[in-house]
Amino acid sequence: MPRVSDAYLAQRRAHILSAAAVCFAREGFHRASMRDVIEEAGLSPGAVYRYFRGKDDIIVAIARDTIGAVGDVVRASVSDRKPLALLAQDLPAAIEEMDRADSRTRLAVQAWAEALRAPALGDALREAMHDVLDQVRARVELGQAEGEITARVDPAAMSRVLIGVLQGYILQRAWDPDLSAADYGRAVRDLVAGALGEQTG
């Protein structure tokens, strides 16, 4: 039997997670079953269980991947030399893109609630969030070192505020799918630029 490529495995994993996200957003974590996920994915049970032992594993993976997507945008901003205020403007659009595919914002809100009672999910969310906070903090520190951001800003505290603003967008979008990422992003840009003393061009 020919060896399956890593790219194929990653694509199949992403397909399963997207199908699961649709199920969880529609039914909730507790009502949705592995059978629902398997049917939504259009795969055999064996194909799904090859990647995940059960529903809890899938929930943790979705939570990690969603938070990780924010980290990807932060890392890209460093290589692109993008001002932090413009990075903040881009984040709502990145969330909106994921949300259009599988109602990711509704799922995120459910995951936050579930994390209060499920230790494994809570640990996964904290670990993934700390990674993103570290990346944002490092981005603020880089801006300070290069004179882009005022030295009076506390990088750790500012990273918490920026992530909090993004979480606010996720929560509002879960209630109101028509919330404009572009409008929200521009408002965030202006707030961040004023707070950091940035020049956005």
pLDDT digits (tens, 9 = 90+) for 179-195: 999 999 999 999 888 87
- pTM beyond 0.85: the answer is no
The pLDDT assigned to 2 comes to 58
Say yes or no to pLDDT of 77 above 80. no
pLDDT digits (tens, 9 = 90+) for 37-57: 999 999 999 999 999 999 989
pLDDT digits (tens, 9 = 90+) for 117-165: 888 889 988 998 999 899 889 888 988 898 888 888 899 999 999 889 8
Among residues of the chain, what percentage have pLDDT more than 90?
32
Check: CATH 1.10.357 for 58-196? yes
Say yes or no to pLDDT of 114 above 90. no
Say yes or no to pLDDT of 199 above 80. no
The whole-chain average pLDDT of the chain stands at: 86
The pLDDT assigned to 19 comes to 93
The pLDDT assigned to 20 comes to 93
Angle at alpha carbon of residue 22, lines to 17 and 23, rounded to 5°: 95
Angle at alpha carbon of residue 135, lines to 132 and 141, rounded to 5°: 145
- Look at the alpha carbons of 186, 147, 159, 71 in this order and tell me if their dihedral is positive or negative: positive
How many angstroms from the chain centroid is the CA of residue 21? 13
Amino acid at 115: A
36, two tokens: 């629902």
Instruction: Indicate the length of the chain as a whole number.
Output: 201
DSSP 30: T
State the Cα–Cα distance between residues 189 and 199, nearest whole angstrom: 11
Between helix 104-115 and helix 84-102 the angle, nearest 10°, is 100
